Structure 1
Amino acid sequence: MEKLLELYREWHGSEPAKTEQLPGAGSNRAYYRLTDEEGKSVIGCVGTSRDENHAFVYLANHFTKRKLPVPQVLAVSSDELRYLQTDLGSVSLFDAIRGGREAGGRYTVKEQELLKRTIRELPNMQFRGARELDFTNCYPQPEFDTEGVLFDLNYFKYCFLKATEVDFHELKLEADFRLLAKDLTAENSDSFLYRDFQARNVMIDDEGNPYFIDFQGGRRGPYYYDLASFLWQASAKYPDKLRSDLVDEYYNAALQFSEMPKRDVFDRRLRLFVFFRTLQVLGAYGFRGYFERKQHFIESIPPAIQNLRELLSLDQEKELLPYPYLTDVLRRLCELPKYQQIEVVSQTRADGYKITDNNPYKAHPKDGPATFSKYDGKGPLVVKVFSFSFLKGIPEDESGNGGGYVFDCRSTHNPGRYEPYKQLTGLDEPVIRFLEDDGEILTFLDSVYKLADAHVARYIQRGFTSLMFCFGCTGGQHRSVYSAQHLAEHIHEKFGVEVRICHREQNIKQVLPKV
């Protein structure tokens, strides 16, 4: 510590007014925030490996020249065991998206935007960062290679697989390991592989911009690895839709820096690295959890197994993993009772509410099973569509369900203000021509159709029996009649359900029968 303070004095010209040690990050490197009397701070690092520190300093200087979002190195000791860097603050991406993670993967729009900003910046780091980079400065090795892959796969075998109850043939497993290693290293890559790209290693500034730290383990390698490492981190619990969106964001951003493979090829290669990364992570969890007995890593094993289970399920559909013995061993691993998920079946709770597994909504694990509604499964659906005059009140709902939609057509151009149409209704051709030529009613109904389509589809799915749409205007004669008639015909044509039309003020009723 004294030598770090000496380096600070040489750089700043005075003692720091305040020194604060920062929480450890799982390595032997120690970090300190050093603050002067004006409140300006820098980060000091004390490492135990000169080669590791040298790699960071070299990469940071190189990336800074490339104007990439990384901390700037301010001073380095002669033995390279200590250095000072700019302070990027105290908020990591990991902290910024904590709410979504703790909510079981329910990320807010703001949290999703932080993730998208980060993933869009990654190819900038990988491709522009690799230009003119001397990879011989990387630590502990200059590139991603077969030897490194086999080391990680055997780490999984010895630190995780052997700690379970799964029997396997060492030589057959080793043969598939070598095939997998060959496939992972089959493509030449000139990109920078971050290696430890995770939310803890991304700092967020006051404007929500991401900055990258702790890249000293980086090397030349395939860009798929970092994307797989970040998006398939088990503890992050990214929902499939968000993960898919983030892959799209990455791919589109990468096209600005490099000629990318076709999307289907890209997706297939990415899945291969997700598979490898999952085994790699399980090896680390096995060592930290089963051998060192650290509870956090033990708790991280089930979600990692679930990631593996999903990959193996996808493999059965699309044959993505041509390693038959390895996948057989892994399937037997996922079938172990201690890794089985508890399936929810229909039952009755103590409070009398029935629980259903026939739920059209995508359930979230955090919420548990849905209760059964007394309205579910009655069917078939009957849709009622009314036109009316607001001067005479909204039509009464006789179903007992409390009504449905009431739309106000009075914002659209009214043909009733013009003499040729005063005695006509929205069913008459001249009025129809007026409204459709004007166009406002068509724009209005576009939005109505979107709401109605989603609502009718869900009511059919759940077996509900009644849905009501009402359109009101000044007199219940032109705009409301046109809108009600066209929505009724739209629903009947699209869904084939029974639709009952009532133009109340015109005393006109019509039934479109179930198809």
Structure 2
Amino acid sequence: MPKADFTTTLTDLFTKQFGNSPQDISAIPLAGSDRRYLRLSDGTNTVVGAFNPDKKENNTFFYFTQVFGKYKLPVPEIIAKSRDKQYYLLQDLGNTSLFQLMEQEGHTDRIKSLFKKSIDNLVRFHWEAGKEIDYSLCFSASAFDRKQILTDLLYFKYYFADLLKIHYNKPALLEELEEWSRGLSSVRPQTFMYRDFQSRNIQVQNDEVYFIDYQGGMMGLPQYDLASLLWQARAQLPTDWKNELVNYYFQALTSLPETPSFNEMEFRKVYLECVLLRILQTLGAYGFRGLLERKPHFIKSIKPALQQLKFFLDTYGHIPAFSELRYVLEQIVKPEITAQFDGLDETLLANAPLKLHIYSFSYKKGMPEDVTGHGGGFVFDCRGILNPGRFEEYKQVTGKDAAVKEFLQTKTLMPQFLDSVFAMVDISVDDYVRRGFDHLSISFGCTGGQHRSVFAAESLAQHLKDKYGLVATVVHLEQEAHELKRR
């Protein structure tokens, strides 16, 4: 079934499962993939509905969930799934992650106890469920092998270090990264590696922890997950917490039915290498999403990550054991480099001359006249989207009202339409900012200029603010007083 029908299909799946159609359907913010989520409720039953066109990824998720359920690990229950395995209903674990809770409360005793509960479960992911998993069923890589480790290291090199114009011996660094990846990939023991075990992927309900987004798991180093949890850049866990929680990992091992046998000193040494690897992989991601794509959230994360890296280098003088890599890392944590990211999330593109004007209009009355003398710009026709104005309950409201927003997000092709719009407009914005252009206009038209075009204009303005930090002037020709002429 095509993507456009995901709301209808999830509604049908809900009705078949519970015998009642959902009375309340709300969109859940999109993930960084093709997965789409809705929250559906009939007043008694509330679930999360998911659509993902990648059947292989879904099969891995279903399989991992089955194994984890067997070991009573707190992951969402799969309540129902469609025959084609692209649509499924999940237990609703709420909206609060451990990271969000920590932002609200700070580093309190309660938060520390939730981290300990997370580690209690992490050792079970590693040493209990990990023994049973068939790693040939992983949807991406089956193991965190030399190629996977080297990919993470090269991500840092190309998308962070090289973007900062650090001068270094490139052949020597590449040779060291290859040697390091070979060494880490040969370390034993290996277990199930969650891959992204961090507080954003831990949900909290009634002071209990639950785990999501584990479908990227593979066989790998258990130390990597511990490093991901304790050294998350934005979490900024205190040093004494990190030390205490590493020790707690070994304490938690004693509660297992069978305590794993390995050299604790060697485990701790590899853990520190994984901390550095995770920091570098994270900086690579922040460089790509922040320095290249200019997304404020990622740029905001760069300075905390660099601060963590500096602390690590100052504390552990023997890691990394590679001279050229050590040199590069010492260069990027210098004050003059770190200072580049002070307040950058707030001043992003503040001095860019580009001014953005976004309009909504009615095709019956005509589009806005160009007021800049440049001509050009984009005009998008929203009339291919199902019109809320056909339904009585939406006739007196506009695309700025919650009911219309929900209708367009969940019952129409508007999300796909906007994905394409954003991709096209971003190309011009990237180019115009780089070349110092001063104006770009984008217009959205629909039949009456009330619902679809208004929602699309507001959505684009929010997208450009989130991604570039640019605040657009938005004018709704049919909904607001103005003196603009029409073409």
TM-score (norm 2): 0.65
Deviation at 1:190, TM superposition (A): 4.3
Q: What's 1:224 paired with?
A: 223
Deviation at 1:188, TM superposition (A): 3.3
In the alignment, which of 84, 91, 114 is matched to residue 86 of structure 1? 91
Q: Does 2:67 match 1:62? A: yes
Q: Give the secondary structure class of the aligned counterpart of 2:316.
A: helix
In the alignment, which of 7, 12, 21 is matched to residue 18 of structure 2? 12
Q: What's 2:295 paired with?
A: 294
User: C-alpha offsets along residues 166-221 of structure 1, whole Å, 9 cap, x if unaligned?
Assistant: 01222111101011101211223441111111112111121x11111111101111
CA distance in 1, matches of 2:91, 2:280: 36
Q: What's 2:56 paired with?
A: 51
Deviation at 1:89, TM superposition (A): 2.3
CA distance in 2, matches of 1:100, 1:245: 20
Deviation at 1:252, TM superposition (A): 1.1
User: C-alpha offsets along residues 234-288 of structure 1, whole Å, 9 cap, x if unaligned?
Assistant: 1101110111111111121124444253443222111000011111000000001
User: C-alpha offsets along residues 332-370 of structure 1, whole Å, 9 cap, x if unaligned?
Assistant: 22226131599xxxxxxxxxxxxxxxxxxxxxxxxxxxx
Q: Give the secondary structure class of the aligned counterpart of 2:247.
A: helix
Q: Does 2:316 match 1:315? A: yes
CA distance in 2, matches of 1:113, 1:18: 35
Q: What's 2:122 paired with?
A: 122
Q: What's 1:42 paired with?
A: 47
Rate the CA distance shift 1:100–1:180 in 2: closer, same or farther, 3 A.
Answer: farther
Rate the CA distance shift 1:341–1:244 in 2: closer, same or farther, 3 A.
Answer: farther
Q: What's 2:410 paired with?
A: none
Q: What's 2:419 paired with?
A: none
Q: Give the secondary structure class of the aligned counterpart of 1:172.
A: helix
Deviation at 1:145, TM superposition (A): 0.6
Q: What's 1:234 paired with?
A: 233
Rate the CA distance shift 1:22–1:341 in 2: closer, same or farther, 3 A.
Answer: closer
CA distance in 1, matches of 2:32, 2:250: 31
Q: What's 2:110 paired with?
A: 110
Deviation at 1:232, TM superposition (A): 0.4
User: C-alpha offsets along residues 111-140 of structure 1, whole Å, 9 cap, x if unaligned?
Assistant: 221222212221112211113211111121
Deviation at 1:290, TM superposition (A): 0.4
Rate the CA distance shift 1:231–1:173 in 2: closer, same or farther, 3 A.
Answer: same
CA distance in 2, matches of 1:88, 1:249: 26
CA distance in 1, matches of 2:104, 2:261: 34
Contact 1:42/1:84 (8 A) holds in 2: yes
Contact 2:135/2:218 (8 A) holds in 1: yes
Q: What's 1:482 paired with?
A: none
CA distance in 1, matches of 2:166, 2:340: 18
Q: Does 2:317 match 1:337? A: no
Q: Give the secondary structure class of the aligned counterpart of 2:131.
A: coil
User: Match for 1:177: what amino acid?
Assistant: L
Give the 5 Å matches for 1:258-273. 258-273=259-274
Q: Does 2:306 match 1:305? A: yes
CA distance in 2, matches of 1:191, 1:276: 18
Q: What's 2:250 paired with?
A: 251
User: Match for 1:320: what amino acid?
Assistant: I
Contact 1:31/1:46 (8 A) holds in 2: yes
Q: What's 2:418 paired with?
A: none
Unaligned residue ranges in structure 1 (runs of 5+): 102-106, 343-515
Q: Give the secondary structure class of the aligned counterpart of 2:21.
A: coil
Structure index of larger Rg: 1
User: Match for 2:60: what amino acid?
Assistant: A
Contact 2:197/2:229 (8 A) holds in 1: yes
Q: What's 1:469 paired with?
A: none
Q: Does 2:30 match 1:24? A: yes
CA distance in 1, matches of 2:96, 2:29: 13
Contact 1:179/1:323 (8 A) holds in 2: no
Q: Give the secondary structure class of the aligned counterpart of 1:236.
A: coil
User: Match for 1:108: what amino acid?
Assistant: T
User: Match for 2:103: what amino acid?
Assistant: R
Give the 5 Å matches for 1:370-449. none
Contact 2:46/2:92 (8 A) holds in 1: yes
CA distance in 2, matches of 1:304, 1:290: 14
Contact 1:153/1:279 (8 A) holds in 2: yes
Q: Does 2:96 match 1:97? A: no
Q: Give the secondary structure class of the aligned counterpart of 1:180.
A: helix
Q: Give the secondary structure class of the aligned counterpart of 1:244.
A: helix
User: Match for 2:182: what amino acid?
Assistant: K
Contact 1:31/1:44 (8 A) holds in 2: yes
Q: What's 2:193 paired with?
A: 193
Q: Give the secondary structure class of the aligned counterpart of 2:267.
A: helix
Contact 1:195/1:217 (8 A) holds in 2: yes
Deviation at 1:147, TM superposition (A): 0.6
Rate the CA distance shift 1:80–1:189 in 2: closer, same or farther, 3 A.
Answer: farther
User: Match for 1:74: what amino acid?
Assistant: I
Deviation at 1:30, TM superposition (A): 1.3
CA distance in 2, matches of 1:129, 1:62: 6
Quick check: 269-278 or 110-119, which moved more?
A: 110-119
CA distance in 1, matches of 2:65, 2:250: 25
Q: Which has the higher contact order (CA 8 A, sep 6+)?
A: 2
CA distance in 2, matches of 1:326, 1:273: 15
Q: Give the secondary structure class of the aligned counterpart of 2:151.
A: helix
Rate the CA distance shift 1:143–1:332 in 2: closer, same or farther, 3 A.
Answer: same
Deviation at 1:298, TM superposition (A): 1.2
CA distance in 2, matches of 1:89, 1:14: 22
Q: Give the secondary structure class of the aligned counterpart of 1:181.
A: helix
Give the 5 Å matches for 1:359-370. none
Contact 1:143/1:220 (8 A) holds in 2: yes
User: Cα RMSD over matched residues?
Assistant: 1.9
User: C-alpha offsets along residues 93-128 of structure 1, whole Å, 9 cap, x if unaligned?
Assistant: 122222345xxxxx1112221222212221112211
TM-score (norm 1): 0.62
User: C-alpha offsets along residues 423-443 of structure 1, whole Å, 9 cap, x if unaligned?
Assistant: xxxxxxxxxxxxxxxxxxxxx
Same amino acid, percent of matched pairs? 35
User: C-alpha offsets along residues 443-469 of structure 1, whole Å, 9 cap, x if unaligned?
Assistant: xxxxxxxxxxxxxxxxxxxxxxxxxxx
Contact 1:130/1:190 (8 A) holds in 2: no
Unaligned residue ranges in structure 2 (runs of 5+): 1-6, 342-487
User: C-alpha offsets along residues 18-59 of structure 1, whole Å, 9 cap, x if unaligned?
Assistant: 111112333321111111242x21111111311111111111
Q: Does 2:156 match 1:150? A: no
User: Match for 2:93: what amino acid?
Assistant: L
